[in-house]
Amino acid sequence: MVDAPAAASGTHNLIDGGEVTRMGYGAMRITGPGIWGPPSDHDAAIAVLRRAVDLGVDFIDTADSYGPNVSEDLIREALHPYDDLTIATKGGLLRTGPDRWVPCGKPDYLRQCVEMSLRRLDVDTIDLYQLHRVDRDYPLAEQVGVLSDLRDEGKIDAIGLSQVDIDTLEEARGITSISSVQNLYNLADRSSHDVLERCEGQGIAFIPWFPIAGSELAAGTGELARIADEVDASTAAVSLAWLLATSPVMVPIPGTSSLDHLAENVAAADLHLTDAHMTVLDTLA
């Protein structure tokens, strides 16, 4: 185990030849309720995106299903032409309403997703394109294969996966190179720890979604709250600092529509947790 400051500082080689700082921004919650429709305050969403960059964030993660399409459109409006930024997006989930998501891994559909994301983001190449969910109705080789074809065509720089187990990850790696895995992982849910360990062993970026733990852990009770008081930080910031210290391939992407919460999240990269703190946090789940 390493101290949080050493783990949090520095970068990770997320894409061949390109590094990102290890505290990114997840652009899911700049949309409407249920991740559906536009935000209630358009200008505030733009301000959050721009402030994230001002604070040193250089990795923005989104998906075509956020809105749908709304998040990508806002990112283009706020940040294009993305100077010194890495923009990651995802495809492979259909939306049928607020908080309703349906996998669709039909290869022709995934190709269409990439083409439309290129247009909305106004780029010739997507830095990191992630298969949002594996669709069990289609062979993985077809889903990952079409993304590999699109990379060969110059429309994708790097390929990632989301919410996969080790077997699926290794099957995909047998088809093409995989640069990242985005799985649910936080203080309260470490069910993907085996995948994290495999990613660390292979130098694959691990992007935890929902990185700030839910339930009583994030509510500010118990040992987490005690440690937060000791280091004069929010429980959310401690949760993020713990993630950064857990593995050098960890690239959290906390999302928020609040400028205050954004600043707290980014500051977590400089939060000092001792080995004693880490020992306690490691036992919370």
Q: Name which of 41, 55, 48 is nearest 78 in CA terms.
A: 48
Q: Which CATH architecture has domain 12-212+248-253?
A: Alpha-Beta Barrel (3.20)
Q: Which tokens go with 60? A: 């923005």
Q: Is the entire prediction scored with pTM above 0.85? A: yes
CA dist 28 and 156 (Å) reads 21
Q: Which residues contact 133 (CB under 8 A, 6 or more apart)?
A: 92, 93, 101, 103, 105, 162, 163
pLDDT at 198: 98
With cut-offs at 50, 70 and 90, classify the pLDDT of residue 38.
very high
162-178 pLDDT, tens digit each: 999 999 999 999 999 99
Q: Name which of 89, 22, 18, 34 is nearest 265 in CA terms.
A: 22
Rg (CA), the chain: 18
Average pLDDT over residues 17-36: 91
Q: Which residues contact 116 (CB under 8 A, 6 or more apart)?
A: 64, 69
Active-site residue flag, 129: no
Cis amide leading into 98 (omega within 30): no
CA dist 267 and 258 (Å) reads 14
Both ends of the chain: CA-CA distance in Å?
17
Catalytic residue, from 25, 66, 129, 138: name it. 66
Between 47-56, 85-94, 149-158, 222-231, the lowest mean confidence (pLDDT) is in 222-231
pLDDT value at 8 more than 50: no
Bigger pLDDT: 4 vs 285 = 285
125-161 pLDDT, tens digit each: 999 999 999 999 999 999 999 999 999 999 999 999 9
